[in-house]
Amino acid sequence: MLGGMQDFELRVPRLIEHAEREHGQREIVTWWADGTTTRTNWAGIGRDARRLAQALESLGIRRGERVATLAMNHSRHLVAWYGTIGMGGVIHTINPRLFDEQLVYIANHAEDKVLLYDKAFQPIVDRLRPQWTSIAHYVCFDSDGPDSFEALIAPFEGDYRWVEGSEREPCMLCYTSGTTGNPKGVLYEHRSSVIHAMAEIAPACFDLSAQAVALPIVPMFHAAAWGLPFAGAMAGVKFVYSAVNDPAVLCSLMNEEKVTHSAGVPTVWLSMFQYMDATGRKPEHLRLVTIGGSAAPRAMIERLMRMGIRVGHAWGMTETSPIGTIGSPPADWAEMDFGGQVDLVCKQGRVPFGVELRVVDDEGREQPRDGKSSGRLQIRGPWIIKRYFQDEQGDCVDEENWFDTGDVAVIHPCGTMQITDRSKDVIKSGGEWISSVELENAAMGCAGVAEAAAIGVQHPKWAERPLLLVVRKEGSDVDEAAIRDHLKDHVARWWLPDEILFVDSLPHTATGKLLKTALRERYKDYRLETGDDAAQPIAEAAQG
Ligand code: ADP
C-alpha cells in the first residue's frame, strides 16, 4: 500500500463538536418575541442539543425520522437543528407564512413526528392539529408549561454521544414554497451541508470567522437559513438572533452587539431604510451584508455601499443548499469607479469552488460566456439536488447531473452570472425576450416608486407585450409620464411597457417574492389600450 488518508465522515455533529471545543465561549444572543434577551454560547448550544437528542430518543424518535419546527430565529431553534441531526434525525423547518393547505400538505408529506413551535404560531397549531396526521408530540419553544421545550429537556444531563454513520445520510428537509403545484421537499445530507459550509465561510463568500458577529435576518425556515447555522459553528461566529423582524429592534441589536455581518432578502433592507430615514439611526458596525432570494435593486446596493458596507449579492435556491453564486470584489476592484463597482454588484456574482454553472438554449446547446447569450441556467455540484424527497418521478437532473434552475441568465467572460429572468416570467414579444426583472428594477429606480411588477399580457400581433404594475411610495404622486421618462434612459425602447397601472399592493409568496402567477392570472384577459397598431413601432424597433 502506498499510504493514504483517513476515513472521516463529513457529518454535521462534527460542526457543533468543533464549535464547542474551539469556540465554546462565543456567544449566541437572542431577542425573544416578548422583548426579553437571553445569552448562551456554543458550549451551551452543544450541551442543550445533546439533552434534546436524549429527549427525542425518549419520545421514541428513530434515526431518519423527521422533527419539524415552526419557528423564528432563536437559540432554541439552533439547539433543535443540532439536537435532531445529532441523534440521527432529520430537521424539517416549516415556513409559517405558507397557506394552511400547504402547511397541512408539507407536514403530512414529510411524515413529521414532532413539532417544535413558537408561541406566536399557536393559532396555526390549534387550527391545523386535527389535519396533521403523523405529528404525535407538540412542544412549545417559548412557554413555561409542561409542554414546553425547557420541560422536555429538563430531565436530561447531556451525557450523550452523537450518532455516527455515513456522510450520505440525510440531515435536513426544506420544502420550496411552490408558486405552482404542491411544494417539493429538498433533502440535504450531512456531507452536502458540511461542504457547503466550508465554501460559505470563505472571504469571497460570506467571509465568516471568529471575528464575525452575525445577525441573520434570513429566517431559519427559509432555505436552511442560507446554511448559516452550519457555517457559523464551523467558523466560531457570534450569532445575534431576533425572533421579531422589527427594524427598530434589529437596528438596536446591531449597534448594541456590534454586528458586523447580516444576511436577508431585499425587502428587509427596504424596511430598514424606511426606519433609518424616519429616525436618523443606522447600523454602525456592519461590514458585509449578503442579499439574495430575489434580485437586489440597484438603489439598495448603492445606498449600502455608500455606508461603507460590502454587499454580497447572492443567487441560489432551496435546491442548491442554497449558495449558487455570490459577488465579491475582484482583482481590479480598486481601479473601478464607484458606478462600475455598483454595476458589478448588481449582477449575481460567481460560483465558489464546488459548483459549476452553464447556460443552454432551448435545444440544450451550451451558450458562450460572452455576457450576451442568454438561456436557461443549469447547475451541478456536491450540494445541488439530485431528486426531490419521495418523488416518484425520479431524478430531476440530466445524465450529466445538470439541474435546470428555471432561471434565465447570461454568464460574462469574467465568470459573473447575471439573472435576467425566471423562464416562466420572461415576456415574449415578437419572438424576442424582454426581461421582466430588468424592467422592474429600472422602474424601482424611479423616485416615488415603492415596488413594480412587469408581466406579459396577450397582444394580437406581438404575442405578448409588457404591462407594468406600480405601487407608489407613501405620499408620492409619481405619474405615468415620469416613470416612462425614467425608463427611457434605462431600457431599450421596445421594452417600454405598453401600459402602466397604479395599484395599492402586489401579491407576494411566503418567501417575499413577487407572485407572478397570481398577477398573470389576474390580468390574463386584460386588453391593452394600445391595441395592435400602437405597439407596432415599439416592437418593430426590437427587430431592427
Ligand atoms: P422558491 O421558488 O420556493 O421561492 P427559493 O427561495 O429557493 O424558492 O428561490 C429560488 C429562486 O429565487 C431562484 O431560482 C431565482 O429565481 C430567485 N433568486 C434568488 N436569488 C436571486 C438573486 N440574487 N437575483 C435574482 N433572482 C434570485
Q: How far apart are CA 505 and CA 411, in angstroms?
A: 33
Per CATH, which fold does 358-422 belong to?
Luciferase; domain 3 (2.30.38)
Whether 433 is a known active-site residue: answer yes
Q: Mean pLDDT throughout 3-16?
A: 97
Could you tell me how many residues make up the chain? 544
Nearest to 230 by CA among 384, 70, 12, 66: 12
Helices (H), 409-530: 436-444, 480-488, 516-522
CATH superfamily of 424-542: ANL, C-terminal domain (3.30.300.30)
pLDDT single digits (tens) 353-382: 999 999 999 899 999 999 999 999 999 999
Q: Is the CB of 162 under 6 A from ligand 1?
A: no
**What is the domain partition of the chain in residue ranges?**
13-353, 358-422, 424-542
pTM for this model (two decimals): 0.89
pLDDT at residue 160 tops 80:
yes
Atom of ligand 1 nearest to the CA of 513: 4
Instruction: Give every CB contact of residue 84 below 8 A, 6+ residues apart in sequence.
Output: 52, 53, 56, 67, 90, 91
pLDDT single digits (tens) 47-65: 999 999 999 999 999 999 9
Nearest to 372 by CA among 415, 420, 410, 418: 410
DSSP codes, 191-249: HHHHHHHHHHTSTTTT---TT-EEEE-S-TTSGGGGGHHHHHHHHTPEEEEESS--HHH
Q: Is the CB of 223 under 6 A from ligand 1?
A: yes
Q: Is the CB of 420 under 6 A from ligand 1?
A: no
Phi, psi for 487 (deg, rounded to 5): -60, -35
Catalytic residue among 111, 150, 433, 499: 433
Catalytic residue among 176, 320, 325, 420: 176
The per-residue pLDDT for 530 is: 64
Ligand 1 centroid to residue 140 C-alpha, Å: 31
Catalytic residue among 258, 372, 424, 428: 428
Q: Is the CB of 407 under 6 A from ligand 1?
A: yes
The per-residue pLDDT for 178 is: 59
Atom of ligand 1 nearest to the CA of 322: 7
Pick the CATH number of 13-353 from 3.30.460.10, 3.40.50.12780, 3.40.190.10, 2.40.50.100: 3.40.50.12780
Which residue lies with its CA nearest to atom 10 of ligand 1? Answer: 317
pLDDT at residue 538 tops 50:
no
Cell of 190: 450531512
Whether residue 218 contacts residue 226, with contact meaning beta carbons closer than 8 Å, is answered with yes
Q: How far apart are CA 157 and CA 52, in angstroms?
A: 10
Q: Do the domains 13-353 and 424-542 sit in the same CATH topology, yes or no?
A: no
Q: How far apart are CA 483 and CA 447, in angstroms?
A: 9
Q: How far apart are CA 407 and CA 295, in angstroms?
A: 12
Q: How far apart are CA 362 and CA 370, in angstroms?
A: 18
What three-state secondary structure class fits 296? coil
Which run of H or of E encompasses 291? strand 288-291
Nearest to 319 by CA among 407, 446, 219: 407
